[in-house]
């Protein structure tokens, strides 16, 4: 849809009162603002509303609705499906909204919708506090949390969504609601994992936990040891304490050499003695090539994998929860990894246990509460000429491993071609989410997301 479909009078009224910046396709900064993390996404909104607060968001929704244009919402821009940006739509860009206020006495933080995890972690850490955030520090807090939010702290403190206690939400009709368990119990329930379906989160309030120094790092083995290492890993994490989280997978050496490795990324929130005791088996198993494990501030742990996910790389992701980690699945992973076309791509196992699994599947909108693994194929490459081969490998690998999948899908990892997976992501909560959607967004203004159709 062309920009001419926005009435000049409406546009003038918007720019006259807007605190942020309104960008049209010919404006400086438009091309930077429309770019998101995934370099495959190349869309041109009719208007980008770079908001400063809830009032700007409400006005941007208003002009989109009056003009009959689609609304997309950008928090941190990390969604691989690129739903933060739509051709011909109004992109509500929260990137300038960076306010963070920690209340150390209450152990809470309120952060605006454009904040990313490195920023929130830094402010919370200044008070010796933290909350579950993404495994990569450049992910936006808003899309991540509304989509559930798994990460290093989930065994200790639950998902990001489990720690969300309030949302300043701008609804489809431009109203600003202060949502919490008392004021809007159903809506608050839906915001804990129901995605961007119910409105725009101008700011989010989280419960924080005392945490400063953690123990973490990388243990890597030759790729030939992968089948044995993954069997060891499966058995070693069984019954582990809430302090311990280990993700494992088949990866490439971070030095860019393209060498394949079998690796475990370990994380421990206990005292140095407890960490040493619990991590010793992982550090001493087999004949590792690399054991780089030690104490570090939690915000540093959150950046360890950042370099592997540069902005602008081309991404195509598939994932599913598994039915355990059988020898057959391990062997199939190793076999598929032998033909991986990109030295940036990994096959990753994310272990769910502890606090995240002690919440009932219908207590929040996130139903995935079983102990076990989420298997992620985050394919990444840089040369557009290799796009077809990388997408084909990802789809073929997903199909080859699918007999080991449970049917549950992690909402935050769904791509654009996966509308049929949405029910698998919301599981038994889908019908209740539809009811909440009908109440707060009956016209489905917020549909550029993993959509719950009212
Ligand atoms: C490198 C990388 C690492 C990742 N690591 C993790 C991880 O460890 N754990 C995990 O769970 N996920 C992870 N993800 C997935 C990520 O959480 C989702 O892609 C999430 O949508 C990103 O949030 P964002 O705000 O950055 O995204 P955006 O692309 O800005 O937004 C995605 C969608 O979220 C909604 N949204 C965003 N902001 C708002 C808002 N303020 N109000 C209402 N709706 C909003 C909109 O529907 C939007 O389309 C990762 C993704 C990448 C690319």
What local confidence, expressed as pLDDT, does residue 4 receive? 43
With CA atoms as reference, report the closest residue to 452 among 242, 197, 205, 169. Answer: 197
| Contact 171 CB / ligand 1 (< 6 Å) | no
- The CATH number given to 3-93 is 3.30.43.10
When pLDDT is cut at 50, 70 and 90, the band that residue 2 belongs to is very low
348 DSSP β-pair partners: 249, 376
| Contact 148 CB / ligand 1 (< 6 Å) | yes
Choose one of 43, 91, 412 to mutate for the ligand 1 pocket test, by most ligand atoms within 8 angstroms of C-beta. 412
Q: Are strands 100-103 and 209-210 parallel, antiparallel or unpaired?
A: unpaired
Torsions phi, psi for 40 (to 5 deg) = -75, -20
When pLDDT is cut at 50, 70 and 90, the band that residue 10 belongs to is confident
Give the CATH fold of the 213-419 domain: Vanillyl-alcohol Oxidase; Chain A, domain 3 (3.40.462)
Question: Looking at 72-76, 263-267, 449-453, which range is the least confident one?
Answer: 449-453
SS3 per residue for 134-165: CCCCCCEHHHHHHCCCCCCCHHHHCCCHHHEE
What local confidence, expressed as pLDDT, does residue 419 receive? 59
When pLDDT is cut at 50, 70 and 90, the band that residue 3 belongs to is very low
Owner of token pair 């009078």 = 9
Residues of the chain with CATH 3.30.43.10: 3-93
Tell me how far the alpha carbon of residue 144 lies from the centroid of ligand 1, in angstroms: 4
Residues of the chain with CATH 3.30.465.10: 100-210
Residues of the chain with CATH 3.40.462.20: 213-419
| Contact 36 CB / ligand 1 (< 6 Å) | yes
Owner of token pair 């494990």 = 293
CA 407/CA 309 separation, integer angstroms? 27
Q: Are strands 90-93 and 71-74 parallel, antiparallel or unpaired?
A: parallel
Question: Looking at 56-60, 399-403, 424-428, which range is the least confident one?
Answer: 424-428
Choose one of 140, 177, 374, 449 to mutate for the ligand 1 pocket test, by most ligand atoms within 8 angstroms of C-beta. 140
What local confidence, expressed as pLDDT, does residue 418 receive? 59
Which two three-digit tokens encode residue 282?
């992982």
Tell me how far the alpha carbon of residue 8 lies from the centroid of ligand 1, in angstroms: 33
CB neighbours of 178 closer than 8 A, spacing ≥ 6? 166, 168, 169
> How crowded is residue 55: how many other Cβ atoms within 10 Å of its Cβ?
17
Read off the pLDDT of residues 439-449 as tens digits, 9 standing for 90 and up: 999 999 999 99
Scored b (16 or more CB within 10 A) or e, 266-285 reads: bbbbbeeeebeebbeebeeb
| Contact 356 CB / ligand 1 (< 6 Å) | no
Mean pLDDT along residues 17-35: 95
Which two three-digit tokens encode residue 191?
């915001």
Return the half-sphere exposure (C-beta side, CA atoms, 13 A cut-off) of residue 169. Answer: 26
Choose one of 51, 78, 151 to mutate for the ligand 1 pocket test, by most ligand atoms within 8 angstroms of C-beta. 78
Is residue 106 helix, strand or coil? coil
Q: Per-residue pLDDT for 258 more than 70? A: yes
Read off the pLDDT of residues 92-115 as tens digits, 9 standing for 90 and up: 999 999 999 999 999 999 999 999
**Residues of the chain above pLDDT 90, percent:** 92
Domain 100-210 has CATH 1.20.1250.20: no
Higher pLDDT among residues 415 and 431, named by residue: 431
CA 441/CA 443 separation, integer angstroms? 6
When pLDDT is cut at 50, 70 and 90, the band that residue 15 belongs to is confident
Tell me how far the alpha carbon of residue 146 lies from the centroid of ligand 1, in angstroms: 8
Mean pLDDT along residues 126-152: 97
What local confidence, expressed as pLDDT, does residue 7 receive? 80
Ligand 1 atom nearest residue 410's Cα: 11
CB neighbours of 3 closer than 8 A, spacing ≥ 6? 24, 25, 46, 47
| Contact 149 CB / ligand 1 (< 6 Å) | yes
Read off the pLDDT of residues 362-419 as tens digits, 9 standing for 90 and up: 999 999 999 999 999 999 999 999 999 999 999 999 999 999 999 899 999 998 655 5
When pLDDT is cut at 50, 70 and 90, the band that residue 43 belongs to is very high
Going by alpha carbons, the residue nearest to atom 34 of ligand 1 is 143
Mean pLDDT along residues 355-360: 98
What local confidence, expressed as pLDDT, does residue 420 receive? 65
With CA atoms as reference, report the closest residue to 268 among 217, 211, 210, 216. Answer: 216
Read off the pLDDT of residues 176-201 as tens digits, 9 standing for 90 and up: 999 999 999 999 999 999 999 999 99
Tell me how far the alpha carbon of residue 83 lies from the centroid of ligand 1, in angstroms: 9
């Amino acid at each position: 849809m062309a920009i001419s479909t926005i009435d000049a009078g409406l546009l003038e009224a918007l720019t006259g009162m807007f605190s942020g910046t309104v960008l049209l396709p010919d404006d400086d900064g438009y091309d930077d603002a429309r770019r998101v993390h995934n370099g495959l996404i190349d869309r041109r909104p009719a208007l980008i509303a770079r908001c400063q607060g809830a009032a700007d968001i409400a006005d941007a929704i208003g002009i989109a609705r009056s003009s009959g244009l689609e609304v997309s919402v950008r928090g941190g821009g990390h969604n691989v499906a690129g739903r933060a940006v739509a051709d011909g739509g109004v992109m509500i860009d929260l990137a300038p909204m960076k306010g963070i206020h920690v209340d150390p006495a209450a152990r809470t933080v309120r952060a605006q919708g454009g904040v990313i995890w490195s920023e929130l972690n830094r402010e919370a850490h200044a008070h010796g506090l933290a909350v579950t955030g993404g495994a990569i520090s450049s992910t936006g807090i808003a899309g991540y949390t509304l989509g559930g939010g798994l990460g290093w702290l989930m065994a200790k403190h639950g998902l990001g969504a489990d720690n969300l206690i309030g949302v300043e939400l701008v609804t489809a009709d431009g109203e600003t609601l202060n949502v919490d368990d008392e004021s809007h119990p159903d809506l608050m329930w839906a915001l804990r994992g129901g995605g961007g379906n119910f409105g725009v989160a101008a700011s989010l309030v989280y419960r924080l936990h005392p945490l400063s120094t953690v123990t973490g790092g990388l243990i890597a083995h030759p790729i030939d040891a992968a089948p044995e290492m993954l069997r060891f890993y499966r058995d070693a994490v069984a019954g582990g304490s809430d302090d311990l989280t280990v993700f494992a997978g088949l990866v490439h050496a971070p030095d860019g050499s393209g060498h394949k490795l079998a690796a475990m990324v370990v994380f421990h929130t206990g005292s140095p003695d407890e960490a040493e005791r619990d991590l010793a088996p992982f550090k001493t198993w087999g004949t590792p090539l690399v054991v780089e494990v030690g104490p570090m501030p939690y915000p540093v742990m959150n950046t360890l994998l950042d370099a592997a996910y540069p902005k602008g790389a081309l991404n195509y992701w598939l994932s599913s929860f598994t039915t355990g980690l059988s020898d057959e699945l391990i062997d199939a992973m190793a076999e598929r990894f032998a033909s991986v076309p990109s030295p940036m791509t990994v096959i990753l196992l994310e272990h769910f246990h502890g606090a995240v699994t002690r919440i009932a599947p219908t207590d929040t909108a996130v139903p995935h509460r079983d102990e076990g693994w989420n298997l992620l194929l985050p394919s990444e490459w840089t040369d557009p000429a290799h796009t077809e081969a990388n997408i084909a490998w990802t789809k073929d690998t997903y199909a080859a491993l699918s007999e080991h999948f449970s049917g549950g899908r992690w909402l935050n990892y769904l791509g654009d071609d996966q509308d049929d997976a949405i029910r698998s992501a919301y599981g038994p909560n889908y019908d209740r989410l539809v009811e909440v959607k009908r109440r707060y967004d009956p016209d489905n203004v917020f549909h550029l997301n993993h959509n719950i159709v009212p």
